[in-house]
Amino acid sequence: MKLITIARCTALALALSVMPLQAQNKVNDSTKFFSLSRLTVGGYGEAVYTRNFYSDNMFRYSHAERYKDAKGHGRVDLPHVVINLGYDFGKGWSMGSEIEFEHGGNEVAVEIEAEETGEFEHEIERGGEVALEQFWLQKSFGKGFNIRVGHIIVPVGQTNNAHLPTEFFTCYRPEGEFTIMPNTWHETGISLWGKLGNWRYEAIVVPALNSNMFNNANWVKNGSASGFEFRVANHFAGALRVDNYSIKNLHIGVSGYIGNTFNNDAVTNEFSETSQYKDVKGTVVIGTAEFDYKGHGLVVRGNFDYGHLGDAALISSWNKNQNHQSFSPYPRSLVGEAALAAGGEVAYDILHTIKHKGNHQLYVFGRYDYYDSYIPTANALTDYQWTDRHVMTLGVNYYPIKQVVIKAQYAKRFLKEQYNDEPAFSLGVAYSGFFTK
């Protein structure tokens, strides 16, 4: 047996010695599990300076007259910095991942204080978040049918579907959608998607939102958050998106979401099963429509989103009367029966008709947003009228190259007459792209 093995090894060595170098490399490459050509590395990031010409005091709406002449304040921020890693395993199998640092990430440390008898102190040096935004495994059976499982984007709404900073003109993500629903919305679940001609579809099943986290300022936005090391999945939700590209330069998309959100929390309460709350489901239904046109130096985009929350009055009562400890993450806030957001923007590249070297672009744009995060029930005793807002934005975007953009804008938020309007100036820089081919 040993002699046979030695003979086989010798024969293989002789065969390799007379093979052309190119053929030898193919043999060696076929034994490798990892190949750089199958790896994708990319990401995006934003840095923004803003000067707010209004007060952000917590009482600026309840006592608006006190802050009418406020000088405002400046701030710098890193809204999103994301690292993307992907790999194609072959035979239709691939993976993707995104690690997101919001607002610079967390900087937390344990320090020894020399002036306080050497005791240890827990220091928070900077606020922010670090999140795994995507982590999925995919099997592709062709363009028409793919299965993706893991932590995925829920592409409900225009911004969740196109959230890269090079895909919108404002320094921050469009305000309406960013306010009323999770953004970027990512959950652990399963997605079926594909492209059929000029159509693209995606159907998703994920854990439902948690109604304990709903509030008047952001409607269901914070319902995807979890203060635990796991995501509660007592209830599941479905999402569907359909996009059409039949008309040249024009994209039209619709999306929707439905899921029961009440009692989708790790803190169980038997009282909710035997009282007036026993039949509460808290069904959230969201529907969105959008379009974007790009051609001849012109970009036009628009969106409309409407959402409804079933049993809103009972959920508001439940949330306001929660008896959890003071350090719980629940806002204990009323929540509206509905919320809506509508927006549109028009931009023109003033360099489009000028002959110049490179791919420079200089867009002048205007954007309008209207949104209301708290539309109360018919018999509600409280109506937070400051949630009803109009926003007008004017600005410029300069692209020295396709992957980099420099942004400047002036925006003014118009509230109802009893409140103070909120103007601001912002300057930002962003990038988005892949570092490997």
Q: Which domains does the chain have, with CATH numbers?
A: 38-434 (2.40.160.10)
Nearest to 195 by CA among 148, 155, 143: 143
187-246 tens-digit pLDDT:
999 999 999 999 999 999 999 999 999 999 999 999 998 877 788 899 999 999 999 999
pLDDT for the residue 14? 40
pLDDT for the residue 271? 61
What confidence tier does 255 reach under pLDDT thresholds 50, 70, 90? very high
Q: What is the mean pLDDT of the chain?
A: 86
65-117 tens-digit pLDDT:
988 888 899 999 999 999 999 999 999 999 999 999 888 766 555 555 544 45
271-328 tens-digit pLDDT:
666 678 888 999 999 999 999 999 999 999 999 999 999 999 999 988 888 765 555 6
6-46 tens-digit pLDDT:
444 444 444 444 445 444 454 455 445 678 889 999 999 99
For CA atoms 399, 401, 403, 406, give the dihedral sign: negative
* Percentage of the residues of the chain whose pLDDT score is greater than 90: 66
Q: Which residues contact 287 (CB under 8 A, 6 or more apart)?
A: 254, 255, 256, 305, 306, 307
Neighbour tally for 404: CB within 10 Å: 15
Residue 83 near residue 31 (C-beta atoms within 8 A): no
pLDDT for the residue 203? 98
Nearest to 398 by CA among 110, 156, 169: 169
| Mean pLDDT score, 404-424 | 96
Amino acid letter at 150? G
